[in-house]
Structure 1
Amino acid sequence: MKLLLVLFSLIAIALAFGTHVYLQSKEFDGVEISTIGASLVIKTMIKTVGARVKLVESLMPKLNQTSDSLRIETIPITFDTSSSEVYLKEVGEPVAKYALRVYQPKQNRDGGYPIVMYIHGGGWMFGNIDISNRLCEGLANKGFIVVSIDYRRTPEHIFPSCLNDNLNALSWIGRNYEKYNGNINQLIISGDSAGGHLAITTQIRLFSIQKKLLERESIPSVTHQALLYPVADFYRYGDEKYESYMKYRDNGLIIDGAVMDMFWRNFIGNNTEEQVKSNPLISPVSGLILSDKVLYSQFPKGFIWLAEYDVLKDEGKSFANAVNNASPNKLKVKEWKSCVHGFIDLKRNYDEMADAIYEVLGKINKQS
């Protein structure tokens, strides 16, 4: 009898899951059934398991880090956040630890390779350099030095820990690029989702630092940016600020309003909503004056890719519009139709991303 009850329960769950996936397939035209199913599983895990998903991550086998065409090196980093005015003050011990991974084409090139500093997504909470391994290998195989940042994550490490790690990573790049045959005059900062947010806020922090201090810390200039569906603005579940957020707040694929609320709570720590909304290092769009052309003109050339079915789409557009209002056509915007948040890993269109970076670089140094 118990076995029958278990069997019926499993059948009921399967039917409910299948019905939900079918109904969402009607709403999200063009999205594959497998993507919708994966989205439901991912959101359920995040909402029900929360921080314990990290335990699952820790048990996953490390991805193969060998390649016939690349040198791949993972480097542990320790630095003192109180050692420089570059870093924002953190709560607790000033000694910080993170890691970065360098992907280098084995064949040297005169003049060096363009450098991509890549910052993974995951709501500042999940993800790591292993998860972004395929993307970074894909870019490196197209002729880039890729430095992937395994920054400290929430909830153990709240803002500004991850920002400080990325500032330190830039300093590391400035001190070590020659060793890896990199061209420091072609430095692209890139990231997806929360990583895109950190790519934006890292640049904003650099804008406020005096040139002498940047030179003393060997922090190079970011020459280009490549942003993938970034988090760009802070707001709460009930806010009606963006059309895409209101449309996908309750049924968004991969992430929705409730997931974003959880990510933000873990990220901002004890900061109040007012403090967050006025701080451009946390919330770029609300923390900066969108009409401030002088500030937004400091952002470099680049591109931003957005997904049609994404709660974050319109805040990404808002950021891009502010940049382009200050400097027309500086940031190329592409909305990927019938795509959801996280599509770069679902579609694995790494070659297209590499081509887009070469385009903003002026199509120089492109490998066949």
Structure 2
Amino acid sequence: MTSRTAGGPVRLAVELDGDGAHPAAALGDERPSAERLGPRALIELVLAAEIAGFTLVTFDDSPLPPPGGLRLEALSRAAYVATRTNRIGLGATAHVTTTEPFHVATQLASLDHASHGRAAWLVGAANEPDALATIGTGPLDPAGLRREVTDVVEVVRRLWDSWEDDAVIKDVATGRYLDPDKVHHVDFEGAAFSVKGPLITPRPPQGLPVVIAPEHLVDEARPDVVLIGGSGLDDLRRRAHRARDSGTPRVFAEVEVLLNTREPAETRLKRLDSSARWEHTERLRYTGSADGLADLLAWLGTVVDGVRLHPAVLATDLPPLLETVLPKLRAQGVLRPPEPGETLRAALGLPRPVNRFAASRG
């Protein structure tokens, strides 16, 4: 595989949940979980990713605790690192099935304010019986789940727009903090809930924080970024074309990564799988050298707008990404790192949306 010869700059994201994507990622790491997964380790990982040139870090989440331990929910992790970074995007998973829409909108708006415009929402739709039991209900049928995703994403966007950009006036002479004519009720009626609004938080710096969704939710979420997988490179190319045809502005490929270290990647994989097998998913999976991965990412940049990497073992697979893969892509002029102070929308080449209420007033 050769380096890329055409296409725009590739943007890279990395998933930083837990010990890594492999279910046995903690194998051989003798550090206590509080040290591996605590706030200091989280800050170090995110800062290293920012310095290396990643556009976005993401934090997975679920209604249930992960096997073998507890974790702080994703939005809290993103908020914790928001003021300690200045250019990397912060994407947090929140599930439409188990989180109140008003709370999702408020937390993401607050994250966008705290990060000066670098928030992203990874739309989750957990629908397993154990997950839904956490809120005292049961799974939705397929049509009900699709409607729930549609309703929640739509009302969250409306709530972000419920304050116009210039609603806050801070008029000391009259003692007015805001212009009430520019704060709006959304009056949303969904299939399972209603929301009157407005939000308790002014409009986020990005207007609408970036919405990211997997390809099976593209019609319901109408995301800014769709995440695609593929059984191989040809299948991924077909899915990328289909995602673009859906009108989604940006397409990111999902790639799991297990790299050569002092032992070959295939040997590492067999050793990890002997403890807990890493089942194949919809994502592409790369095992091999760091240079080979750099070439693959450069080629993917001719097919998609970006790639989200899922390191098998963060402690082992993230360092070569930071020290070899991203520097090689930067030297080739392939990687597009975000600029300091740049919003995530700007880093992704997305426009800032016009407020719907201001637009309707003309």
Q: TM-score range by the shorter chain?
A: 0.3 to 0.5
Normalised by the size of structure 2, how large is the TM-score?
0.33
Normalised by the size of structure 1, how large is the TM-score?
0.33
